Chains A and B, each alone.
Chain A
Amino acid sequence: MNRIELLAPAGDLERLKIAVLYGADAVYIGGKQFSLRSRASNFDLEAIEEGVKFAKAHGARVHVTVNIIPHEDDLEELEEYLKALERIGVHAIICASLSVVRCAKRVAKNLEVHISTQHSTTNSKAVDFWKSEQADRVVLARECSLDQIKSVAQHASLPLEVFIHGGMCISYSGRCTLSNHMTTRDANRGGCAQSCRWKYRLLEKDEFIHDDKHLFSMSSKDLMAASYIQDLIKANIASLKIEGRMKSPYYLATVVRAYRMLIDAIYEKSLDDEKMKMILDELSRSENRPTANGFYEGLPKAYDQLYGVNGAGVTQEYIASILEYDKKSHMATIQVKNHFEMSIPVEVFGPDHTHAMTLNPCYDENGAEVEVANKPMQILKTRIDFEVKENDMIRKIVDKSDRHVY
């Protein structure tokens, strides 16, 4: 039996590399053409090719989203684009348009075709249809419960992919035009303004009936399905998908690493309560909105919605990345990511290690000691007594026990 795939998002080459280094088996990216999340689609063909080479060198695969719902003039040059993706070694495309599916199967037979969640597939009969179209995999709708996922998997004629972490569309994916109406930005062509997360007054006839302190919102807590990974593996799901092509390298590193540890521990039969607690703690440190189970336990309830906060939970815990390390002098070259002061408790972590320490003095390019690191991207040097590597990260240790978000 094939091991389950951990599939991570990436908005650019830096994040693709982080996702692969921190344990993703495959990374999905958006090209500049034919992709949703236009702001997160930073990959031209050259960058895709570089990403594919990097991923292959590390035993990983690249999937490219071609999930636009095309309007009349959106499909020009599609054939050439698909042929180019095939030529440079992309493993799969993720698409929602039947024209794109059929075009890919006609002109780029070596590309796997994965049916996007934009199609909201929730049953094995729909999977049978996609099999008849020669698709290779179907991404299930986020509206399926764990029992429903298991049930579809039991009867499905194609491998299935499910979402396990990240933001949730409040609508059935791909069937929403709120953004079109509110902002003239087409959600199905890369322009979603997330109008569902805005605040609304609620009326019955002409009487306002909302709570003035908490206006109505359709905003959902983010999905966090770590507790269900064992069940999904048992159900023979092919791929576990993390949402968030616009998320930061720190988000990717923490989330991908946590799920990597979890999946590996399950296969190695070494998962115990202590390790699970550690993994859940790690996931709680990623830059999510507050999290919930999504539909895994059935219909979400009131406490699965967000009425107070709207943001994506950027915490500024991630303070620096490691650029290089000198084993002899124990001096690390780091790049500042967020404001920090010296002598604070921090954690240095990489794909396979986490070390707590007190941050040692940092020095700028002139060798002068820095009191406060407040220039993002500034290069500093600091002593780290254990070995670290390029792309390791440094984060503050923050007590979130009194954080109240809803």
Chain B
Amino acid sequence: MKLISDCLEIKHLDQYAKCSIDRIIVSLPHVSARPARVYTMEELKEIVKFAHELGLEVGVNMLNFVMEDDLDKFQDALLFCKDNKIDRIYFADMGVYWMAKEMKMEHLLIYQPTTLIASSQDANEYLRLGIDRVVLAREITFDDMKHILSHCHGCEVSVFGYNVMMHSRRKLLSSYFEFCGLEDRSASKELYLMEETRDEKMPIIQDETGTFVLSGTIFCMFSKLMELENCDFRIEGIHLDEELIFQAAKDIQRILLGEISGDKVYESYSKAYPQYAFSEGFMYKKTTLVKEAGQ
């Protein structure tokens, strides 16, 4: 089992290592989507050097969709990853897979298409392409997750962090501010949506790749970590404070070592971090309801 997290601040690489995080994920301009933070290629070279010295693997977020006119940028990024000993590359577009295969580096790839890996059948079919891992969809139940893991070797499971519910290529915030004649605050990282009849605050973020909406709660799977075998664990760093990432990483390790109970840690977070809301997502919630006539 490896513990993986987005990297927010390169100055703190040593702390990622101290928290027993095995791999950090770094985002780059153009090729990354929903980045926790973006670094330049030059910075990435430095990150790889220091990370490897600390025993940390480095993964690159290459989750953006590839427009035909951007193929060169992705090809360059893949080549950069190959030349600079990047350990893993996260992708969501099969074009990235095909280019990596042409460059004989598909074994470095981890497929993270958010929603598309929701069964062991699909997980195994993608793994047969020669890639290293697939990241399971978030909207599956814990029972489904366990079943998939018992039938599939090579999964990464998100265990902590906000869930990206929607990614649009459109600049939805800028459009809204323009329509209403309001000051454009789309660059703010403190924007939230509340459905008009509900009180859940859902972060909404606009960047060069478009607009994305996050869940109103931080998904937290502590209570069931001990029951998950045969997979890597992932902390999604987007919209989180680095301190919370470090604490979650430490607690995950302690839970796995049997030093503390996952249930108790889960309960304690609401008190320890009143500024956040935590939930167990779809672990016990089947999303099989369908629309009936008249609804």
Residue B269 lies at the interface, judged by CB distance under 8 Å to chain A: no
Contact of A38 among B148, B201, B291 (CB under 8 A): B291
- A202 pairs with B116, CB closer than 8 A: no
- B115 pairs with A174, CB closer than 8 A: yes
* Least distance between A193 CB and chain B CB atoms (Å): 7
- A125 pairs with B285, CB closer than 8 A: no
Residue B167 lies at the interface, judged by CB distance under 8 Å to chain A: yes
Contact of B168 among A97, A99, A195, A218 (CB under 8 A): A218
- A148 pairs with B287, CB closer than 8 A: no
Main SS class of interface, B: mixed
Residue B69 lies at the interface, judged by CB distance under 8 Å to chain A: yes
Q: Can you identify 23 A-B contacts, CB atoms within 8 angstroms?
A: A72-B148, A99-B122, A125-B94, A126-B95, A129-B94, A175-B92, A176-B166, A178-B166, A180-B139, A181-B165, A184-B286, A185-B290, A186-B289, A199-B195, A201-B193, A201-B196, A203-B191, A203-B201, A204-B185, A204-B188, A217-B176, A218-B172, A303-B179
- A176 pairs with B165, CB closer than 8 A: yes
Residue B158 lies at the interface, judged by CB distance under 8 Å to chain A: no
Q: Give the distance in Å from the alpha carbon of A217 to the alpha carbon of B175 in the complex.
A: 10
- B66 pairs with A125, CB closer than 8 A: yes
Closest to B177 in A: A302
- B180 pairs with A211, CB closer than 8 A: yes
- B179 pairs with A214, CB closer than 8 A: yes
Closest to B178 in A: A302
14 extra interchain contacts, Cβ-Cβ under 8 A, other than A99-B119, A122-B95?
A: A69-B116, A99-B121, A123-B71, A125-B95, A126-B93, A144-B67, A171-B167, A177-B166, A178-B213, A184-B286, A184-B287, A196-B166, A218-B172, A305-B175
Closest to A183 in B: B289
Name A's B-contacting residues (CB within 8 A).
38-39, 69-72, 74-75, 96-99, 102, 118-126, 128-130, 132, 141, 143-144, 147-148, 151-152, 155, 170-172, 174-178, 180-186, 188-193, 195-196, 198-205, 209-211, 214-218, 220, 295, 299-305, 307
- A71 pairs with B66, CB closer than 8 A: no
Point out the residues of chain B lying under 8 angstroms from A186, CB to CB.
139, 287-290
The 5 closest A-B pairs by CB, nearest first: A125-B95, A126-B95, A211-B180, A186-B287, A99-B121
Contact of B165 among A177, A191, A193, A209 (CB under 8 A): A177
Point out the residues of chain B lying under 8 angstroms from A210, CB to CB.
176, 180
- B179 pairs with A302, CB closer than 8 A: yes
Interface residues contributed by chain B, number (CB under 8 Å) = 74
Q: Give the distance in Å from the alpha carbon of A119 to the alpha carbon of B95 in the complex.
A: 11
Point out the residues of chain A lying under 8 angstroms from B195, CB to CB.
182, 195, 198-201
Point out the residues of chain A lying under 8 angstroms from B118, CB to CB.
69-72, 188
Q: Give the distance in Å from the alpha carbon of A192 to the alpha carbon of B165 in the complex.
A: 13
Point out the residues of chain A lying under 8 angstroms from B138, CB to CB.
177
Point out the residues of chain B lying under 8 angstroms from A217, CB to CB.
176
Q: Give the distance in Å from the alpha carbon of A199 to the alpha carbon of B213 in the complex.
A: 14
Residue B169 lies at the interface, judged by CB distance under 8 Å to chain A: yes
Contact of A122 among B65, B113, B148 (CB under 8 A): B65
Q: Give the distance in Å from the alpha carbon of A152 to the alpha carbon of B289 in the complex.
A: 37
Point out the residues of chain A lying under 8 angstroms from B192, CB to CB.
202-204
Closest to B147 in A: A72
